[in-house]
Structure 1
């Protein structure tokens, strides 16, 4: 950015509002944490800030930046807030560059300071001494040190989420929530309450930072959690496992089902343990009697909300499909889904019965294989903030635990097809019916194993939180369908080569609703 006025480096804090307003708006779209990449950014401005450190050649700022955006298909403007720690310096660094200030007598670089060592040291000092940080508006950033340990060095962690993870010395991670929204982040309260309830498969919270404005409203800025040594997440592990199996079985001219079961049997024990852990998580959540966590009966309005989501997503998906062209196989799947639309909409009307859904409790909300870390001792579940694109009040709502179960079932389907697509790409093939069949057998078997083991523990410890018999099948099909429709909307717009995965899931759910089988007999596609 070029600023025609003459000013010195030490004047930057007084010029900060003008500087932020003049940043190239689209520069923020390159950052993973900025979620509205498809939106038009109409304006940006400094909402609030605190000067954390001011030195001769470095200024560290905790900034809350407002983005005025509009979706391409909407006329409505919305204002979103993001937390962005800034480093401004005359010197080039390896941090993520946001923009460059240029004036007649000054050149300075604006960096995202999330993994800057001096920013980390400042947070360390504030947390260890529990020093309140005053913001320009009168608001304050309040640190809560639960372990009273110092935090020192910092480096960025590989991260696939919309938040920012920074590895801190002494085996701790600071997780910064970039989207700045009012309320307690469910990641903080869920992890904290589960740990207190004796659930051992979560990270330990060491501290957190809350921003409190002049009216007393609070925003979760960051949490500090233990860094658990791990061998990667279960998605990565599953891909490596399936790749190895495919490599072996692809040499066979004919593949008997017994071969598949033999090669994949080791993975089933992993799935059994994960199912038991997730069941234990839901059981312990159902025992918490605090108002925000206590299990409750399902109201008819809850049922209507789930069914409305399905109907809306179905309509959205059909609208997006009309804008694209597909190959013969995908077209055939779409035609079958359209053919079943009348049946599906009619069938949904039969589900306006609260008994179908069991009890509502607090759940993970966005559970899939990437949210489960594999360690030497077992497994750890992470990222309890729910679906990050949804409002925080929605993410904190109670829901059927089958939403989490459905998330895992759909994740197994994605894992199977991701491995299949990787194999096709490596071999330069368009399809391989033999390998696709192998992975279809795996998906069905591993999902059945997961659901059976989940059911076994939940029905013995907290049977009231899930529906019984046929109602279990119906509810699981409903939540799988809602998830698959959401996936379909994403894939058709962002990754059409993977569109087959949710389409297969949607068709499988429709078959479930037609058959109304029980327990492990359900088609788990």
Structure 2
């Protein structure tokens, strides 16, 4: 029976029977979980009206010496929208345990007492016994039957045989994100493996685990943190749910966004002196990233795979309709946002916005062309959220990370096969952002005419883009079944560049009006190329609408 006279969780039953203690579980749901989850960075429902918290499932995980922790699956019901599920490991640390005083406040759900034993109810990741139990089960490839299905631990090639039966060191990494990160190591290498526990759960395997395990187990592509294992909740007649994934840790200098910013500093300092300088090693790095991107796409191109999830597919009518619905919805919202916020934009952004809105008919025709144009290129699984921030720079190479896909897309959408050019478009846009943000956001250039900065940034971007693309194409090979020919390649790249830049535009209008010119310039580049395609088409029945490009002409500096 639960003692309701105290604000702490107090039960006459033992901790090990928590999954059967209905009074304690109801106390957790009504009193403990609502305030606690709202303090967690990984809880995505803070801004929504919460109606109920339910402990839907409790998976028991043995900690040795008859101790146990639980993998709690917590359902959060909202006034509007779908119910969400979260993974919350639970452990009980008695007051007299040596590490009880070391639990950080953010890891403590509540003081508690079970069967007259006082202690702390904590997020299990802060209990070393729980962390080591996860590792041991992964290393042993164990299967743990539960009341609701089973928890299966998969071991991958990345987990070295020498590290299966040895002393393991663990700690919680100070990563404040949508997931939790644990580090594992051996005495001579204290941080060798990285275990990501997925907090928000979906009724499907996580796309990151699918991709990283495939690349590690089925290809020779080594420029990712190798797959070392995963934790999966399996039930009959229900899709598996991924709870966590372990990979090799990667020693890196910084992500490529930061490194590109460093390279741009030399360029930035020269601009006020009307000098145009790019170090040669910048081109070397960009070429290398182009090659690594192509090698990743070649590894994901698997026409002989027995796994349908990785077999290439054609550009079906269904897929085209999906992309067109997405682009048209984005365009409709962006046109409206530009009209509502037009007076808040600076003069350069206003001119770009005007030409963009005047080009609506041309863009609509381009979209219809995508709907009906014969395409023989192929679609595969891709990274899905590819930009400079997803690439770690080592001393002389790159490691590609975070294969979870677009954060705002559903898990099902993240598994849709696209042309790899969607990734390429993401990286090209990232380079454009890097130079534009540096030049337009630095004190060194604040007194320079924006039109001049626009031209200078465009020259840098064009050189870097062409360097990246040339290396990519050289590595992919020409022709390659992924891309029927150069015409299809260029056409599809425009489709994904348009989608990406229009998507970016909404964020900038809402949060960074001073940066609206960056995605608008990206859209303008696409519009110019669309006009070239339409003008050169001998089968067109009507003239291409003339764009108001004169609005973009500026005085020479």
TM range (shorter): 0.7 to 0.9
Answering whether residue 250 of structure 2 is matched by residue 231 of structure 1, we say no
Residue aligning to 2:229: 207
- Cα-to-partner distance string for 1:147-169 (whole Å, 9 max, x where unaligned): 45347333344647633322211
Residue aligning to 1:347: 366
Conservation of the 8 A alpha-carbon contact between 2:112 and 2:121: no
Structure 2 residue matching 1:287: 3-state secondary structure:
coil
- How far apart, CA to CA, are the structure 1 residues paired with 2:534 and 2:281? 28
Structure 1 residue matching 2:385: 3-state secondary structure:
coil
1:131-280 paired onto structure 2 within 5 Å:
131-135=142-146, 137-146=147-156, 147=159, 148=161, 149-150=163-164, 152-157=168-173, 159=175, 162-170=178-186, 171-195=192-216, 196-246=218-268, 248-250=269-271, 252-255=272-275, 259-260=276-277, 263-280=278-295
1:275-424 paired onto structure 2 within 5 Å:
275-290=290-305, 291-321=308-338, 324=341, 326-329=344-347, 330-353=349-372, 355-356=374-375, 358-424=377-443
Answering whether residue 91 of structure 2 is matched by residue 83 of structure 1, we say no
Answering whether residue 448 of structure 2 is matched by residue 448 of structure 1, we say no
Structure 1 residue matching 2:181: 3-state secondary structure:
strand
Conservation of the 8 A alpha-carbon contact between 1:86 and 1:112: yes
Aligned mate of 1:503, from 506, 520, 537: 520
Conservation of the 8 A alpha-carbon contact between 1:141 and 1:209: yes
Residue aligning to 1:120: 131
What runs of 5+ residues in structure 1 fail to find an aligned partner?
71-75, 519-525
- How far apart, CA to CA, are the structure 1 residues paired with 2:482 and 2:90? 46
- Cα-to-partner distance string for 1:123-179 (whole Å, 9 max, x where unaligned): 1232234443454x4332111234453473333446476333222114110022222
- How far apart, CA to CA, are the structure 1 residues paired with 2:259 and 2:153? 36
Aligned mate of 2:78, from 69, 77, 80: 69
- How far apart, CA to CA, are the structure 2 residues paired with 1:309 and 1:346? 16
- Cα-to-partner distance string for 1:42-92 (whole Å, 9 max, x where unaligned): 332212123446899x9843221112236xxxxx42111121223455666
Aligned mate of 1:485, from 456, 481, 502: 502
**Which deviates further from its counterpart, 191-200 or 399-408?**
191-200
Task: Give 1:359 deviation, angstroms.
Answer: 0.8
- How far apart, CA to CA, are the structure 1 residues paired with 2:154 and 2:50? 35
- How far apart, CA to CA, are the structure 2 residues paired with 1:9 and 1:418? 57
Structure 2 residue matching 1:463: 3-state secondary structure:
coil
Task: Give 1:209 deviation, angstroms.
Answer: 0.8
Root mean square deviation, CA, Å: 3.4
- Cα-to-partner distance string for 1:491-512 (whole Å, 9 max, x where unaligned): 3334444333222222222222
Residue aligning to 1:46: 55
What runs of 5+ residues in structure 2 fail to find an aligned partner?
187-191, 536-557
Aligned residues: 500
Residue aligning to 1:521: none
Aligned mate of 2:10, from 8, 11, 14: 8
Residue aligning to 1:522: none
1:459-470 paired onto structure 2 within 5 Å:
459-460=477-478, 463-470=480-487
- How far apart, CA to CA, are the structure 2 residues paired with 1:337 and 1:497? 17
Task: Give 1:410 deviation, angstroms.
Answer: 1.1
Residue aligning to 2:547: none
Structure 2 residue matching 1:155: 3-state secondary structure:
strand
- Cα-to-partner distance string for 1:468-488 (whole Å, 9 max, x where unaligned): 233322211110111122222
**Which deviates further from its counterpart, 430-439 or 323-332?**
430-439
- Cα-to-partner distance string for 1:78-116 (whole Å, 9 max, x where unaligned): 11112122345566632524754699x999765444354
- Cα-to-partner distance string for 1:243-263 (whole Å, 9 max, x where unaligned): 3432x315x4323xxx33xx2
Q: When the two structures are superposed, what TM-score results if normalisation uses the length of structure 1?
A: 0.84
- How far apart, CA to CA, are the structure 2 residues paired with 1:298 and 1:304? 10
Structure 2 residue matching 1:8: 3-state secondary structure:
strand
**Whose radius of gyration is greater, 1 or 2?**
2
- How far apart, CA to CA, are the structure 1 residues paired with 2:428 and 2:317? 26
Change (3 A) 1:486 1:17: farther
Structure 2 residue matching 1:174: 3-state secondary structure:
strand
Conservation of the 8 A alpha-carbon contact between 1:141 and 1:211: yes
Residue aligning to 2:548: none
